[in-house]
Amino acid sequence: MPTPVKSVLPVVLLGCGGVGRYLLRHIVSCRPLHANQGVSIRVVGVADSSSLLVAEDVHSSGLDDALLTNLCAAKSAGSPLSSLLGQGKYQLFQNPEARSKVIDAATTLGRTTGLVLVDCSATYDTVSLMKDAVDHGCCIVLANKKPLTGAYEDFQKLVSNFRRIRFESTVGAGLPVIASVTRIIASGDPVSRIVGSLSGTLGYVMSELEDGKRFSEVVKTAKSLGYTEPDPRDDLGGMDVARKALILARLLGQQISMDNINVESLYPSELGPDKVSSKDFLESGLGHLDKGMEERVKAASSRGNVLRYVCEIESTGCQVGLKELPKDSALGRLRGSDNVVEIYSRCYESSPLVIQGAGAGNDTTAAGVLADIMDLQDLFQKTA
C-alpha cells in the first residue's frame, strides 16, 4: 500500500547553474524515496538570471518531471528558459516582471500552504527577494553565501525565524557544519573557536606542495582538474573562504562584516585581475610566486609542521590565511580537496569535534540543499 502523503513542499528555485540543475535532478530521482516517507516536493517555479518559468496553478500543481529534465538539459547546453516554450503547462515571465511573479507566489503560498524559496544563484541581487519572502512567511534555503555575508542587518532579517531558514550548503557543501555548530550552541555549550580548511581548491593546493611540487605547477593542475574557478585568483584570493568564515562568525553571535576579517591573498595586488589578465597570470605571473611559497613550505616543514589555508574564528576576531599546523593534526593530515573543520567548546576543549569530507562540487552541494529542504517538511501539511 502506498504511503499517504503527509507533507507537500512547494519550491521556487532561483539559479539554474550547476548546483541548481543537480538539485532538480536529485528531486526527480528521489521521488520514490520521498514518496515512501510521505513527502512530495512540488517545484512550482524555476528562475535564471533573466526569466522565470512558473506552473499555471501554483496551488495545485508543479512543473512536471519531464519538463524539469528538459530544463536541465537546455540550461546545460546554454539555452534560455524560453527555449522550453510549448513543452508543458506553465507561464514564462521575463525580468523585471519575473521578480514580481516570485513575490506573487510567495504572497499566495507563504501564508497558506507555505513555500520554500531556494537560492542556488551566486549573486547579491536575491537579498531583497529573500527578505520579502521572509515577510510573507516563506521558508528559505540557501546555497548562495552572498545574502548572508552582506550587511549585518540583512543577515539578522534572514535568520530572524531560525525555524524557517536552512543554509548548511553555504559553508561545507553537504557537510553538517552549520548543524553541528547550532546543536552545540543549543545545548548551552559555548563554542570558543572554529578552525577550518573550507576550500577544496586550496586544500588540494596546500597538500600537494608538501611533495615538493611548485606552486605554479599545482595551481595549473588544480585548474585542469576542474577544482578552481575559471580564473584561479577567485580561489587564491581567499574571499570564498572569508564568506564562509563570516557566516560561521555571525552564527556565533559576532556582529561583524567582511571588513573586520583579515584575509591573506596568495597573490600580490600587482597580479590582480584589474592589472593582469587571467591568461598572463597563469602563463607568467604564477611562476613569480614559486620561490616565496617554497620557502614558507620548507620553513614549516623544518618545525615539523605543514601549511594550510584556514579560517580561524575566535571571540577576539576572525582571520583567513596560511597557518602552520602540526602534521599529525586533523588539518595537517588533510589531503586532496576535502574540507576539514575543528570545533572547540567547553565539552570539546582538548579534543575538538572534527568534521571532514567532500566540501565542494555541484552534486555534493545540491545533495546538501535537498537535505535542507527535506528538513523543513514538518512545517508543511498535505494540500490538495
Query: What is the spatial distance between Cα 131 and Cα 154, in angstroms, rounded to a whole number?
Result: 8
Residues comprising the chain, all counted = 384
Where does CATH 3.30.360.10 sit in the chain?
191-358
Q: Is there a binding annotation on residue 120?
A: no
Question: Tell me: domain 7-174+363-380, CATH 3.50.50.60, correct?
Answer: no
User: Percent of the chain, pLDDT > 90?
Assistant: 84
- Average of pLDDT values for 240-267? 96
Residue type, 273: P
| Residue 20 labeled ligand binder | yes
| pLDDT tens sequence across 189-202 | 999 999 999 999 99
Q: Is 292 annotated as a binding residue?
A: no
Listed in sequence order, the residues at least 6 apart from 14 whose beta carbon sits closer than 8 Å to its beta carbon are 20, 47, 102, 117, 118, 119, 120, 121, 126, 129, 144
The residues carrying an active-site annotation are 244
The annotation status of 359 as a binding-site residue, yes or no, is no
The pLDDT of residue 345 is 97
The answer on whether 311 is annotated among ligand-binding residues is no
Q: Give residue-wise pLDDT tens across range 324-338.
A: 999 999 999 998 889
Closest alpha carbon to 304 in 278, 332, 331, 279: 332
Ligand-binding annotation for 18, yes or no, is yes
- Selecting from 1.10.10.10, 3.40.50.2000, 3.30.360.10, 3.40.640.10, what CATH number does the domain 191-358 have? 3.30.360.10
pTM of the predicted structure, to 2 decimals: 0.94
Task: Give the mean pLDDT of 293-318.
Answer: 95
**pLDDT mean over 40-68:** 93
Question: For the chain, where are the alpha helices, taking DSSP H only?
Answer: 18-29, 31-36, 65-76, 97-110, 127-135, 152-158, 169-172, 177-186, 200-209, 215-224, 233-236, 239-251, 278-280, 290-302, 362-374
Contact by Cβ (8 Å): 155, 162: no
Question: pLDDT-based confidence at 384, cuts 50/70/90?
Answer: very low
Tell me where in the chain the CATH 3.40.50.720 domain(s) lie. 7-174+363-380
List, for residues 15-52, the tens digit of each pLDDT value. 999 999 999 999 999 999 999 999 999 999 999 999 99
Q: How far apart are CA 369 and CA 35, in angstroms?
A: 18
17 is in an annotated binding site: yes
Residue 253, marked binder: no
Provide Rg for the chain, Cα atoms.
Answer: 22
Q: Tens digits of per-residue pLDDT, 160-186?
A: 999 999 999 999 888 999 999 999 999
Cell of 105: 507566489
Span between the terminal Cα atoms of the chain, in Å: 20
Q: How confident is the model at residue 1 (pLDDT cuts 50, 70, 90)?
A: low
CB burial of residue 98 (10 Å; 0-12, 13-18, 19+):
buried
Phi and psi at 7, nearest 5°, equal: -135, 130
pLDDT in tens, 82-109: 888 777 778 999 988 998 999 999 988 9
109-139 b/e (C-beta count within 10 Å ≥ 16 → b):
bbeebbbbbbbbbeeeebbebbbbbbebbbb
